[in-house]
Amino acid sequence: MLKLMQRTLQCTKVVVAVIAAAEKVIIDDVDDERLHPALDNDSVHKSKTETTDTENAPSRENPLARIKRFQVEAESRKIEFARLLEEHAQVIRQLKQMEETESSHHFATSMANVSKA
């Protein structure tokens, strides 16, 4: 019983760590431009070499593309996080089932011992 409780606590800690890590990665990814220096250099190069009638078009296009990329990345992380939560819920269900099986086994053993006495 103690081992099951420890296992449940361990699984819960893992999920909390995953949640914290997912939030940090998403925030860092959006806020920290140092994570994508190559992209920023390419964007600067493109905006310098492209010739258009309006100078604002390339600069407007770049942030929109970045926003779209962040949205796609956030959605894929959201799906992965949902999968991890479901996996955690499944582990908890299995632990509860094992706990119930163990307690019913102990009850049956106790009843057998009482009837023998």
Residue 107, pLDDT score: 75
Which alpha helices (H) appear in 32-55, and where do they start and end? 37-49
Reported as a single tens digit per residue, the pLDDT across 52-94 is 454 545 556 689 999 999 999 999 999 999 999 999 999 999 9
Can you give the residue ranges of every domain in the chain? 61-117
Give the mean model confidence (pLDDT) for residues 18-43.
Answer: 54
